[in-house]
Structure 1
Amino acid sequence: MASLAKTLMIKALTLIIVLIGVLLLLAFIMGATGLSDKMLKSILTVEVQEYKQQLIRQGRDPVAVEKAIEEYMKERAAALGINRSWYERLPQLIYRLLVLDLGTSRTLQSSWGSNKISDIILDRLPNTIILTTTGIIFTALIGIWLGLYIGSNIGSRADRVISVLSAISYALPLWFVGLVLILTLAYGPRILWGVQIFPPGGMVSTPPPEEPLAYFLDVLWHLSLPLIASFIVFFGSWAYGIRNIVFSVSQEDFVNFARAKGLPENLVRRRYILRPSLPPILTSLILSLANSIGGYIITERVFNWPGMGALYYSAITALDEPVIFALTYVFTLVYIVARFVLEVLYVIVDPRIRLA
């Protein structure tokens, strides 16, 4: 137990050092390029505008309002450190990144009207989880099941068929499959028969349903085409990748020895093939989930889905530097957390790592 805690502590410290290094690099880039100055000035502008609106609502004299605003600007500028050089503000900037105080956007807003970057990200993140993360989990589970089956039956008809299908699906871009599905399953039935089987895009209908159950079902309806597209594109790579992992493990001496002992084939697959195959399978699954948090820029644009990928696209086209840097930092943070989760799972499923 002590060795397990020591192993996890070492892994956690290593990833914390990586995060600190990323923070320092990001803070250096933001400071040296003047981006941190822009972020602080945008924060100050928003705070001053809110303060001004508050004074006007109180019915203050215009001269008194201007004087109060001038004093407030000086106080807030000093508190934010705008008048200091960027390297003097470095500890403060790192702290702001750690607590996800990422400043404000010049061009983008959340669905409730906030221009704080943290609010915008929190607004878009669940949408991406619904779309890409759900699609990856759904596709991965089916792909893993197929991969385990054909990996234990190399050369069978199922192995040959799935190998061909996986090569085809791997070559298809997700956005291309999405466009084909929209044309054939969304617009096609509506043009030919006047029936809307699948929606062409969006997350909910306009106007959205008011009943919670109806809203949930409407989201599922809009999610159907993206899920079908994800399955077509990704199931092949999952199935073929797991097939190769399982086949490689099944050729090991300890597996042949277990079969020579006369153990049931189901027990051999479960204990001697599946368990040693778990680390690379978990690596693919966890890192795919971490990458999905960033969203798929082109795919979300094709399906008009308001997720993280669409947010990245909007930030790039609007040259909204604070949002671009904030998203880059958040994606890095998610990746580091995913790596730590992987390290914990490795120790659980593979005792050899614990002993090492």
Structure 2
Amino acid sequence: MASLAKTLMIKALTLIIVLIGVLLLLAFIMGATGLSDKMLKSILTVEVQEYKQQLIRQGRDPVAVEKAIEEYMKERAAALGINRSWYERLPQLIYRLLVLDLGTSRTLQSSWGSNKISDIILDRLPNTIILTTTGIIFTALIGIWLGLYIGSNIGSRADRVISVLSAISYALPLWFVGLVLILTLAYGPRILWGVQIFPPGGMVSTPPPEEPLAYFLDVLWHLSLPLIASFIVFFGSWAYGIRNIVFSVSQEDFVNFARAKGLPENLVRRRYILRPSLPPILTSLILSLANSIGVG
């Protein structure tokens, strides 16, 4: 637990330092180069279009519309503070970051109707945690089991096959595997046979089931494709890593001494190989869960 807490603290501090560095860099770049009219119009695209349509409905002529849009962009730039120098904007950016004022979205909303970025992130956070933790645990359990098996059977056919599959799976991009699974297992059966084997997205059906057990099974159904994709991509690193740990332990003198005493091979594997291998395996699992905060 101490290593997990230390890793979480390091992740949190790293995240804060990186965010402040990015804000400083952005503030400096924007302050040094300034905002052109084209860049400002790109930032305010939706607002400008809505304001332009409003002016057209009022019967304004094109020249007056363009002048009004220029004045509107200047007013919005002053209101947003993006026309200030970088050293004037930086304290405001850091303050807004500390109070979780990340701005608003004009296209996304939280489940309770808020368009604040912080509320949208908070709304997605539970599903993100569920997806990352279940994916890591599911993949790790199967990968650990395969690693223990091939680590105890070095040089066997299973060892060679799983080692090759591990190398192939490690080279596959997660986004590519996810797209292939969605096309073949979600959309494919529905288009060809009218059967929905796996849902292409979402966390729960609409409307969600009312019974607790049905709701739980529905969530598992929606997690199935992400779990399969996570397993295909990451099981290889787990299997090969655990294989090397088990093989290293199996070469220790106390293991050879246990075999020399004539103990059954199953007992040797369980008591003299598996037990000493558990601490690094559990450490890897805990660190993977902690690392999911930074990449999940």
Same fold per superposition (TM over 0.5) = yes
Cα separation, partners in 2 of 1:268 and 1:7, compared to 1, 3 Å: farther
Cα separation, partners in 2 of 1:272 and 1:354, compared to 1, 3 Å: farther
Contact 2:203 2:223 in 1 (8 A): yes
**Equivalent residues, number:** 296
Contact 1:135 1:227 in 2 (8 A): yes
TM-superposed deviation, 1:269: 2.8
Contact 1:39 1:103 in 2 (8 A): no
TM-superposed deviation, 1:151: 0.3
Cα separation, partners in 2 of 1:127 and 1:29, compared to 1, 3 Å: farther
Question: Partners in 2 of 1:112 and 1:160 — Cα distance?
Answer: 52
TM-superposed deviation, 1:73: 23
> 1:55 — aligned with what?
55
Structure 1: runs of 5 or more not aligned: 293-352
Larger mean CA deviation between 108-117 and 9-18 belongs to: 9-18
Cα separation, partners in 2 of 1:179 and 1:261, compared to 1, 3 Å: same
TM-superposed deviation, 1:11: 14
Question: Partners in 2 of 1:194 and 1:138 — Cα distance?
Answer: 30
Residue 200 (structure 2) pairs with residue 200 (structure 1): yes
Contact 1:174 1:230 in 2 (8 A): yes
Q: Secondary structure at 1:155's aligned position in 2?
A: coil
Cα separation, partners in 2 of 1:285 and 1:37, compared to 1, 3 Å: farther
Question: Partners in 2 of 1:13 and 1:106 — Cα distance?
Answer: 31
Contact 1:40 1:80 in 2 (8 A): no
Cα separation, partners in 2 of 1:108 and 1:266, compared to 1, 3 Å: same
TM-superposed deviation, 1:10: 14
TM-superposed deviation, 1:42: 20
Post-superposition CA distance 1:153-188 (Å, at most 9, x none): 111222122112212222222222222222222222
Structure 2: runs of 5 or more not aligned: none
Post-superposition CA distance 1:6-37 (Å, at most 9, x none): 99999999999999999999999999999999
Contact 2:174 2:233 in 1 (8 A): yes
Contact 2:35 2:83 in 1 (8 A): no
Q: Secondary structure at 2:154's aligned position in 1?
A: coil
Q: Secondary structure at 1:88's aligned position in 2?
A: helix
Question: Partners in 1 of 2:294 and 2:97 — Cα distance?
Answer: 33
Post-superposition CA distance 1:113-160 (Å, at most 9, x none): 235555433321211122232121111101101111110111122212
Contact 2:23 2:90 in 1 (8 A): no
Q: Secondary structure at 1:209's aligned position in 2?
A: coil
Post-superposition CA distance 1:243-301 (Å, at most 9, x none): 11111121122322333344443443344323333343234322322333xxxxxxxxx
Question: Partners in 1 of 2:219 and 2:10 — Cα distance?
Answer: 43
Post-superposition CA distance 1:192-221 (Å, at most 9, x none): 222222222222334444544443333222
Question: Partners in 1 of 2:162 and 2:72 — Cα distance?
Answer: 67
Contact 2:40 2:73 in 1 (8 A): no
Larger mean CA deviation between 226-235 and 34-43 belongs to: 34-43
Question: Partners in 2 of 1:119 and 1:355 — Cα distance?
Answer: 20
Cα separation, partners in 2 of 1:50 and 1:194, compared to 1, 3 Å: closer
Trace 1:79-90 onto structure 2 (pairs within 5 A): none
> 1:337 — aligned with what?
none
Larger radius of gyration: 2
Contact 1:44 1:77 in 2 (8 A): no
Post-superposition CA distance 1:68-106 (Å, at most 9, x none): 999999999999999999999999999997887878768
Cα separation, partners in 2 of 1:355 and 1:164, compared to 1, 3 Å: closer
Runs of 4+ in 1 over 6 A off after TM superposition: 1-107, 353-356
Larger mean CA deviation between 79-88 and 255-264 belongs to: 79-88
Normalising to structure 1: TM-score of the pair? 0.52
Post-superposition CA distance 1:292-338 (Å, at most 9, x none): 3xxxxxxxxxxxxxxxxxxxxxxxxxxxxxxxxxxxxxxxxxxxxxx
Question: Partners in 1 of 2:28 and 2:223 — Cα distance?
Answer: 41
Contact 1:3 1:354 in 2 (8 A): no
Question: Partners in 2 of 1:267 and 1:196 — Cα distance?
Answer: 47
Larger mean CA deviation between 8-17 and 91-100 belongs to: 8-17
